[in-house]
Amino acid sequence: MSRVIVIAEQRDGRLKKTSFELLGLSSSAGHETHAVILGHGVENLATELAHYGADKVYVIDHETLNYYNAEAYTQALSGFLLSEKPDYILASHTPTGRDFMPHLAAKIDAGLASDCTKVEFDGNQVKAWRPVYSGKAVAEVEFLGDGVKMLTIRPNAIGAAQPDPSKTGSVEKIEVSLDGLKTKTTELMKGSAVRPDVTEATTVVSGGRSLKNADNFKYLEDLADQLNAAVGASRAAVDAGYRPHQDQVGQTGKVVSPQLYIACGISGAIQHLAGMRTSKTIVAVNSDPDAPIFQVADYSVTADLFEFIPVFTEEVKKLKESL
């Protein structure tokens, strides 16, 4: 049995759903699954991590870790991980995970496979698959040697685990010294977004240049409200000022992998596909029957989005009310 340490992620004292996916991945593979949580005043999160499969939770609680900082995370985790020597270290490929994991891999001299969408464990070996060349190909990655193996997993790429409230785990506090850091994050200014982030939502409704202006995104917001979805955008829509850059999906935006991606009036340029082609189900609405987005869509709707989306939204609403 291998030993896995999942680096759990929290923001404002709430655990990220992606951390539960990692715990599920590890425990369903039969590994001894441990979690480590960093922050300030986060010990209470250990119980929830145990419910999702952590046999043991390490808590690194330090005032300096109140706000995320790559240098502080690397310093806090490296000594702990070097002494624990797990077989695998897992983190989510969120903006946080993709930031500190390469620092950490260098610091503890471990191999790192990043942005994996599929992982298969076989005893003490693991194979990981990660999209490359804007999602046009998939690379199969194996680790060499017996050292610690680190992986970041794309959010939503693997199934979410179900919590088991009867499960408990032991908790151990880890003392760390964060003296000598060169940087410290002192404040985090939140955006005004009221919706889930596109990288974390299970459904994303995205719009393109064809929306014509920022106000017309109301059509998509109404649908997103019904589906509890995030609203995304193509780069053309972002460049035109219809949406903020944080909503951009694609090669130079965010990579998303939701259960459902609804692309409205988006042509399907390769740079956009790079950010969403691993979505589980893709619905495309486009007035051009030859739009490239239809080549990756599971459901293709050839229609004017301004006619189709309000009708579709109304139908979703009726369906929800009838349930």
Ligand X SMILES: Cc1cc2nc3c(=O)[nH]c(=O)nc-3n(C[C@H](O)[C@H](O)[C@H](O)COP(=O)(O)OP(=O)(O)OC[C@H]3O[C@@H](n4cnc5c(N)ncnc54)[C@H](O)[C@@H]3O)c2cc1C
CB of 280 to ligand X, least distance (A): 20
Is the CB of residue 89 less than 8 Å from the CB of residue 7? yes
Does position 131 interact with ligand X (CB under 6 A)? The reply is no
Contacts of range 240-245, beta carbons closer than 8 Å, 24 or more positions apart: 240/209, 241/214, 242/207, 242/211, 242/213, 242/214, 242/216, 242/217, 243/207, 243/214, 243/217, 244/191
Q: Which residues of 57-80 are buried (b: 16+ CB within 10 A; e: fewer)?
A: bbbbbbebbbebbbbbbbbbbbeb
Is the CB of residue 121 less than 8 Å from the CB of residue 130? no
Does position 209 interact with ligand X (CB under 6 A)? The reply is yes
CB of 227 to ligand X, least distance (A): 19
Of the candidate spans 23-31, 119-127, 215-223, 233-241, the one that interacts with ligand X by CB under 6 A turns out to be 233-241
Q: Using the rule CB under 6 A, which residue among 24, 53, 169, 208 binds ligand X?
A: 208
Residues ≥6 apart with Cβ < 8 Å to 155: 17, 18, 21, 92, 93, 94, 199, 200, 257
CB of 217 to ligand X, least distance (A): 12
Contacts of range 291-298, beta carbons closer than 8 Å, 24 or more positions apart: 291/267, 292/267, 292/268, 293/263, 293/266, 293/267, 293/268, 294/268, 295/268, 296/268, 297/263
Does position 304 interact with ligand X (CB under 6 A)? The reply is yes
CB of 198 to ligand X, least distance (A): 12
- To 10 degrees, the CA torsion angle through 216, 221, 224, 230? 100
What is the C-alpha to C-alpha distance for residues 52 and 49, in angstroms, rounded to an integer?
5
Does position 309 interact with ligand X (CB under 6 A)? The reply is no
| C-beta closer to ligand X: residue 8 or 230 | 230
| C-beta closer to ligand X: residue 155 or 265 | 265
Does position 300 interact with ligand X (CB under 6 A)? The reply is no
The footprint of ligand X on this chain (CB under 6 A) covers a number of residues equal to 28
Site for ligand X, residues 236 to 295, rule: CB under 6 A: 236-237, 248-253, 265-267, 269, 271-272, 275, 285-288, 291
Q: Using the rule CB under 6 A, which residue among 279, 305, 312, 313 binds ligand X?
A: 305
| C-beta closer to ligand X: residue 1 or 132 | 132
Of the candidate spans 50-58, 120-128, 141-149, 205-213, the one that interacts with ligand X by CB under 6 A turns out to be 205-213
CB of 63 to ligand X, least distance (A): 37
CB of 251 to ligand X, least distance (A): 4
Give contact residues for ligand X (rule: CB under 6 A).
Answer: 208-210, 234-237, 248-253, 265-267, 269, 271-272, 275, 285-288, 291, 304-306
